[in-house]
């Protein structure tokens, strides 16, 4: 493993940097308490997330024009509120819940790890989240990104090659000077095919207590780490 040419680390965010499931359950529960309604928020959030890939696939396939993630989230949310029989939310309350994705909490090791990694590397997002979502999340959680790039700026969702290649290009780097960091095997495989170096960081409870996928690195990645702090150790930061 020679990673001495790497200048920038590019990060998947949902699941890798932040714990979206617990955070959105918390948001739902808070809203439910205010409105005095009972909802199985874990089930609701899992259903919301299940709509994520199919929505992006419609954009990737050209069935929809470019649509930012906030708007895909909102269309899925509107549908789920009907399916779960949840009524009585104002437009402001629905918008607030949708923007819960701007208020996701980092994993416990995230901020410490990023602050160590940024001493040596450029840290950039390479997330399907839109720029505003990622800027607001970073501001709230203290994520020290050097640049918010990726799919919205490229107008292509991962795993389309343009999402990765445009990020390297904006940073003025070759793909081999970038290392993709993700908790998802498929994301790293896509990046690796384009020449990116790869680091897998396992997030064993991203999908809840009964997670069955991405429990370990399933390919030969350059680095396999247990946390961002472990990644900083392994990169000598």
The distance of closest approach from Cβ of residue 175 to a second copy in the complex, given in angstroms and rounded to an integer, is 14
Closest Cα to residue 12, out of 180, 148, 132?
Answer: 180
Is the bond preceding 47 in cis, omega lying within 30 degrees of 0?
no
Name the residue nearer to a second copy (CB basis): 131 or 217: 131
Name the residue nearer to a second copy (CB basis): 80 or 147: 147
The distance of closest approach from Cβ of residue 141 to a second copy in the complex, given in angstroms and rounded to an integer, is 12
Name the residue nearer to a second copy (CB basis): 35 or 118: 118
The distance of closest approach from Cβ of residue 153 to a second copy in the complex, given in angstroms and rounded to an integer, is 5
Per CB under 8 A, residues contacting a second copy are 70, 122, 124, 130-133, 135-136, 138-139, 146-149, 152-153, 170-173
3-state secondary structure of 21: helix
End-to-end CA, the chain: 16
Structure tokens at 198: 């790869």
Structure tokens at 157: 């969702």
Residues linked to residue 106 through DSSP beta bridges, in sequence order: 18
Handedness of CA 187, 12, 230, 7 (dihedral sign): positive
The distance of closest approach from Cβ of residue 169 to a second copy in the complex, given in angstroms and rounded to an integer, is 9
Name the residue nearer to a second copy (CB basis): 55 or 149: 149
């Amino acid at each position: 493993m020679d990673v001495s040419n790497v200048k920038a680390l590019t990060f998947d965010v949902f699941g890798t940097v932040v714990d979206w499931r617990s955070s959105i359950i918390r948001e739902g529960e808070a809203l439910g308490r205010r409105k005095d309604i009972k909802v199985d928020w874990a089930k609701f959030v899992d259903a919301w997330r299940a709509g994520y890939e199919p929505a992006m696939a419609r954009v990737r396939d050209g069935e929809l024009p470019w649509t930012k993630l906030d708007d895909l989230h909102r269309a899925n949310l509107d549908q789920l509120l009907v399916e779960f029989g949840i009524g009585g939310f104002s437009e402001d309350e629905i918008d607030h819940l949708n923007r819960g994705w701007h208020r996701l909490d980092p994993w416990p090791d995230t901020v410490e790890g990023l602050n160590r990694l940024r001493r040596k590397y450029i840290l950039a997002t390479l997330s399907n989240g839109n720029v505003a979502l990622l800027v607001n999340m970073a501001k709230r959680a203290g994520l020290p990104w050097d640049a918010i790039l990726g799919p919205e700026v490229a107008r292509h969702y991962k795993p389309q090659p343009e999402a990765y290649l445009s990020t390297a290009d904006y940073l003025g780097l070759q793909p081999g000077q970038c290392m993709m960091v993700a908790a998802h095997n498929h994301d790293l495989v896509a990046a690796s095919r384009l020449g990116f170096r790869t680091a897998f960081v396992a997030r064993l409870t991203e999908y809840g207590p009964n997670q069955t996928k991405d429990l370990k690195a399933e390919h030969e990645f350059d680095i396999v780490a247990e946390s961002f702090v472990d990644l900083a150790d392994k990169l000598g930061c």
